[in-house]
């Protein structure tokens, strides 16, 4: 039987052989998960990290569940081969479609990201919330289960952000095309008087400035980045795998497409990170 985190002492025995200085592995369908990496790096500044941007296969959002699962397996196996101590699936689409299977198949601890429906549903005053996510996330069984559990008396406006990920992958954050799509996608939400907008895709935090321009001030935008970083820290602490070294970490980013957008989105870290193109 394979060891799982819930298997108690047996698992602690297994993970105690892992190095605390081993990197945290993070993957996404592309560049968007860097929004999650930023939260993780801010909370855990001495941890080494390896980020995989599977941009050659982005977007995942319109792919079948079988394809999303097989791409997620490919990324997970690459991070395991690179000796990571924990994996963060920094992609809602991959999490909602593949995380159960990944957790069943691999003993490495795996953290996922899901749309933050619960906090929005608990805090809404207008009893109306909006969710912007990919088709793959909104149609997944895991998303339906969470949504059903927390939004019984609430109206939920679900909108597929069709076309947003390819524009973010190109770095076209201020393009008229993107502006037009955001206006189109937020219109039914504004009409439904939402007071919370949940960003259910790790690419979308890069659109917060543009969304703030469009949405009324009464709308609070939430994403799951900070929660994922906290969960990562807690899981490493529980498994006694937090790095104890206080020194400049190695922060590696690999993409299987051009490096331009990663460089653009991570510009503020340019002197402390390594960005490379690699086949995977």
CB 207 to ligand DGL: min, Å: 12
* Nearest in space to 266 (alpha carbons), one of 46, 22, 36, 97: 36
137: contact with ligand DGL by CB under 6 A: yes
- The DSSP secondary structure of the chain, one letter per residue, reads ----GGGTHHHHHHHTTS-TTSPEEEEESSSTTHHHHHHHHHH-TT--EEEEE-GGG---TTS-HHHHHHHHHHHHHHHHHTT-SEEEE--HHHHHHHHHHHHHH--S-EE-----HHHHHHH-SSSEEEEEE-HHHHTSHHHHHHHHHH-TTSEEEEEE-TTHHHHHHTT-TT-HHHHHHHHHHHHHHHHTT-SEEEEESTTGGGGHHHHHHHS-TTPEEE-SHHHHHHHHHHHHHHTT------SPPPEEEEESS-SHHHHHHTGGGTTTEEEEE---
| Ranges within 153-172 binding ligand DGL (CB under 6 A) | 165
Q: Is 203 in the site for ligand DGL (CB under 6 A)?
A: yes
State the catalytic residue, choosing from 71, 157, 201, 221: 201
243 touching ligand DGL, by CB under 6 A: no
201 classed as catalytic: yes
Among 15, 27, 51, 60, binds ligand DGL (CB under 6 A): 60
Give 15 or 253: the residue with its C-beta nearer to ligand DGL.
Answer: 253
Asked if 6 and 107 touch (Cβ cutoff 8 Å), the reply is no
84 has catalytic annotation: no
Instruction: Give me the residue whose beta carbon is nearest to ligand DGL.
Output: 61
Examine residue 59 and tell whether it contacts ligand DGL (CB under 6 A).
yes
Residue 255 in contact with ligand DGL, rule: CB under 6 A: no
97 or 243: whose CB is closer to ligand DGL? 97
Task: In angstroms, give the least distance from the CB of 61 to ligand DGL.
Answer: 3
What is the spatial distance between Cα 206 and Cα 156, in angstroms, rounded to a whole number?
A: 23
Closer residue to ligand DGL (CB): 83 or 184: 184
Is there binding between residue 112 and ligand DGL (CB under 6 A)? no
Contact 90, 36 (CB under 8 A): yes
Q: Shortest gap between Cβ of 232 and ligand DGL (angstroms)? A: 16
Size of the site for ligand DGL (CB under 6 A): 18
3-state secondary structure of 52: strand
Q: Interface mask (CB under 6 A) for ligand DGL, residues 24-43, using x and -?
A: ----xxx-xx----------
User: Which position among 75, 134, 140, 255 is part of the footprint of ligand DGL (CB under 6 A)?
Assistant: 134
- Which positions from 67 to 106 touch ligand DGL by CB under 6 A, shown as an x/- string? ------------------------xxx-------------
- Residue numbers of the site for ligand DGL (CB under 6 A)? 28-30, 32-33, 58-61, 91-93, 134, 137, 165, 201-203
Q: Which residues are catalytic?
A: 91, 201
């Amino acid at each position: 039987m394979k060891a799982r985190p819930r298997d108690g002492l047996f698992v602690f025995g297994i993970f105690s052989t892992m190095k605390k200085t081993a990197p945290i592995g993070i993957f996404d369908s592309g560049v968007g998960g860097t929004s999650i990496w930023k939260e993780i790096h801010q909370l855990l500044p001495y941890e080494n990290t390896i980020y995989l941007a599977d941009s050659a296969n982005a977007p995942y959002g319109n792919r079948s569940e079988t394809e999303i699962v097989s791409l997620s397996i490919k990324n997970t196996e690459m991070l395991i081969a690179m000796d990571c101590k924990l994996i963060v699936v920094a992609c809602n689409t991959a999490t909602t479609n593949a995380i159960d299977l990944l957790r069943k198949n691999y003993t490495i601890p795996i953290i996922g990201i899901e749309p933050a429906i619960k906090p929005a549903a608990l805090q809404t005053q207008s009893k109306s919330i909006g969710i912007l996510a990919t088709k793959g996330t909104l149609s997944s069984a895991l998303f339906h289960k969470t949504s059903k559990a927390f939004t019984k008396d609430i109206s939920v406006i679900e909108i597929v952000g069709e076309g947003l990920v390819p524009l973010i992958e190109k770095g076209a954050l201020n393009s008229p095309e993107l502006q037009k799509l955001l206006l189109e996608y937020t219109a039914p939400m504004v009409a439904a008087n939402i007071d919370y907008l949940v960003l259910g895709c790790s690419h979308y935090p890069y659109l917060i400035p543009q969304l703030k321009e469009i949405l009324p001030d009464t709308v609070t935008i939430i994403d799951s980045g900070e929660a994922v970083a906290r969960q990562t820290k807690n899981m490493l602490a529980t498994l006694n795998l937090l790095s104890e070294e206080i020194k400049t970490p190695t922060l590696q980013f690999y993409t299987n497409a051009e490096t331009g957008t990663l460089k653009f989105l991570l510009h503020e870290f340019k002197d402390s990170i390594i960005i490379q193109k690699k086949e995977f």
